[in-house]
Amino acid sequence: MLSGRILVVDDNKNALSALKMLLQIDYELVVTLANPNLVLAELEKDDFDIVLLDMNFSAGINTGNEGLYWLCEIKKKSPTTEVVMITAYGDVELAVKALKNGAADFILKPWENEKLLATLQAALKLRRSNVQVEELKQREHILKKGINQEQRHILGSSPGILSMMQTIAKVAKTDANVLITGENGTGKELVALEIHRRSERNNELLVSVDMGAIPETLFESELFGHKKGAFTDAREDRMGKFQLAHRGTLFLDEIGNLPFTLQSKLLTTLQSRTVIPIGSNQPIPIDIRLICATNCDVEQLVEQQKFREDLLYRINTIRIEVPPLRERGGDIELLAKFFLAYFEKKYRKPSLKISSQAMRKLMEYPWPGNVRELQHTIEKAVILSDSGNLKPDDFVFKSTGKLAGASFLTLDEMEKYMIKTALDRHKGKHSAVAHQLGISRQTLYNKIKRYDL
């Protein structure tokens, strides 16, 4: 017994009644129409698996042209919906013509109940197979886009990175929702990728969504999908990111940028574990592992009523903080050498080296743009290099006031910068700042006074 949704279109009301009584035993929804002009409107209301369609609707006309016309219109409207033609006239040529135009099968009036049910079950299986094929095509498209992307891993041996990797190892094997926090450029996407790689879902897709880049008007379509004709320019069915990530991992980057008005829709989906594409009334079950990331202070957004507290609880089962590059010590040199090797190969400039003076400059710079800024800095140096030995002047930092203008930083400048950054990050909470910097609160007070912060 297969559950499904069937639309029956026949101008004979007695036939409609008999079919409804027969089909509603095995099918979850059976809708009957006596007027074929209402078919397309009915297809907009519900996502039907099968349309059982009469071939003739006008008295005295037995050509079957009306049925063929509506067959074509139905397939245009909903290509994956299977159509079974039904007629009282056993014209073999007409049957062949209907099959060529996309019909799944053809039955005759008066029908045999067992044969009719078997035909419809075969059509339903075909419909579900076609839907799966369409889903696989879309998933394959996503896979092909990422198939040539190089495998990227987290590099570093600093205490902060090692602690983070220990947390990742513990969390990855579970299906717990994870919230990744940290400044821009720290590598939050790499953390999400590492969690997925170590998870039991690693044979499925990791689907990434930049929440800050989706216009409000396209939010539902991008995440939940839409049906053909649901709105202007919806020329075909489109699977949303939730469906693409089915059985895999969904990574919602910059979740803090999601407008408050849309947060309830995301929360409802996460609670129900179903999505409803635009233009459909049929909920679709989803099985995903959710990872979110943000550079915002989400608790502060909650206090400001810009982020729903219940949504934060839902996405924040486990929180992973990615340390900024300035707190990673020797990782700067490790990453600089890694990026140098990568861009040497990319730009065909072998045997490049970073001089000890240049490496010192890299180590002393506070890297407000974190790993992303380091990567871009190394790339520019490689592109513009005239010799095999990269010197301090080959590395140009983005403008960050007095600090970026100097070739080297004094210890006082570096210390002042780190304290000010920590104060800003922890909203002036001295105990948190002292803990981050590894100094006592009294020492912190003295330094704040000394640098007039």
Spatial separation of the C-alpha atoms in residues 426 and 49, rounded to whole Å: 55
List residues bridging with 296 in a β-sheet.
none
Burial of 398 (0-12, 13-18, 19+ CB in 10 A): exposed
Q: Encoding tokens for residue 249? A: 């991992």
Pick the closest to residue 280 from 223, 237, 233 (CA basis): 237
Q: Encoding tokens for residue 416? A: 């002042």
**Tens-digit pLDDT profile for the chain (453 aa)?**
457 899 999 988 899 999 999 999 889 999 999 999 999 999 988 889 999 998 888 766 667 788 899 999 999 988 889 999 987 766 667 778 888 889 999 888 888 999 999 999 999 999 988 888 877 777 766 665 554 455 678 999 999 999 999 999 999 999 999 999 999 999 999 999 999 999 999 888 899 999 988 888 889 899 999 888 777 777 777 889 999 999 999 999 999 999 998 999 999 999 999 999 988 888 999 999 999 999 999 999 999 999 999 999 999 999 999 999 999 988 999 999 999 999 999 999 988 999 999 999 999 899 999 999 999 999 999 998 888 899 999 998 864 444 443 444 566 777 787 788 778 777 788 888 887 787 888 888 888 888 778
Q: Which numeric CATH code is attached to 159-321?
A: 3.40.50.300
- List pLDDT tens digits, range 141-157: 666 555 445 567 899 99
Domain boundaries, the chain: 5-130, 159-321, 324-406, 410-453
E strand intervals along 195-271: 206-210, 225-226, 238-239, 249-253
Q: Quickly list DSSP for 8-65.
A: EE-S-HHHHHHHHHHHTTT-SEEEEES-GGGHHHHHHHS--SEEEEES--STT--S-H
Give how far Cα 104 sits from Cα of 82, 120, 356, Å: 6, 9, 73
Write phi, then psi, for 387 (nearest 5 degrees). Answer: -140, 175
Q: Encoding tokens for residue 167? A: 């947390």
Write phi, then psi, for 72 (nearest 5 degrees). Answer: -65, -40
Q: Encoding tokens for residue 409? A: 């930083």
CATH of 5-130, one of 3.40.50.10860, 3.40.109.10, 3.40.50.2300, 3.20.20.70: 3.40.50.2300
CB 47 within 8 A of CB 280: yes
The pLDDT score that the predictor gives to residue 339 is 95
Q: Which numeric CATH code is attached to 410-453?
A: 1.10.10
The pLDDT score that the predictor gives to residue 148 is 43
- In the sheet with 29-33, reading across from the earlier edge strand, the strands are 29-33, 5-9, 50-54, 82-87, 105-108
Spatial separation of the C-alpha atoms in residues 193 and 208, rounded to whole Å: 10
- List pLDDT tens digits, range 54-111: 888 876 666 778 889 999 999 998 888 999 998 776 666 777 888 888 999 988 888 8
Q: What is the DSSP letter of 257?
A: G
Pick the closest to residue 47 from 10, 2, 78 (CA basis): 78
159-172 vs 188-198: helix axis angle to the nearest 10? 40
Burial 113-142 (b: 16+ CB within 10 A, else e): eeebbebbbebbebbeeeeeeeeeebbeeb
Spatial separation of the C-alpha atoms in residues 7 and 41, rounded to whole Å: 12
Alpha carbon 106 to its chain's center:
41
CB 31 within 8 A of CB 6: yes
pTM value surpassing 0.85: no
Protein fold of 324-406: Helicase, Ruva Protein; domain 3 (1.10.8)
Q: Do domains 5-130 and 159-321 have the same CATH topology?
A: yes
Q: Encoding tokens for residue 383? A: 């592109």
